[in-house]
Structure 1
Amino acid sequence: MQRQVLTQALDGQLKAAKLREYIAYSANNIWYDALTNLGQLRQANPQNATINKDWVDLLNAVGLQDFAKEPIVQHYNLEKED
């Protein structure tokens, strides 16, 4: 994992994408955030055909097609708690 600088271009893309930030993240090869955002949307909207298709497409793009149909069972917060 590597920290990315938020450029003006990426900031604009994220604002334009609104809730579908994964589109901007994946276009800029920021895979962790793309998968996290899209996974959260998929978990909250399991019947949404567009989100499900985007999930399969994104996982295929990063070579994780074997996981595309698996359920998302739990969200983990990896940030350190004080």
Structure 2
Amino acid sequence: AMGLAVGLSLQGSLSNFAGGMLIIVFKPFKVGDVIEAQGTIGTVHEIQIFVTKLINGNNQTIFVPNGSLSNGTIINYS
């Protein structure tokens, strides 16, 4: 039961890790590209293992989980 609980609690983190690896390997975008994903538009500032850091037009920092990025639609304007 404890193993099941730990596995379920790590499910989101493992999804983000796997998404980060897919982004790094297949490179649908790179640092400096302007992308639209998860309803936000911004310039890719940094690609990390679990999240991608975007900066939008209002100079706000947006962290998008890589799990949802790899499973969702990405529009690359660059």
TM-score of the pair, normalised by structure 2: 0.30
Q: Which has the higher contact order (CA 8 A, sep 6+)?
A: 2
- The structure carrying a bigger helix percent of its residues is 1
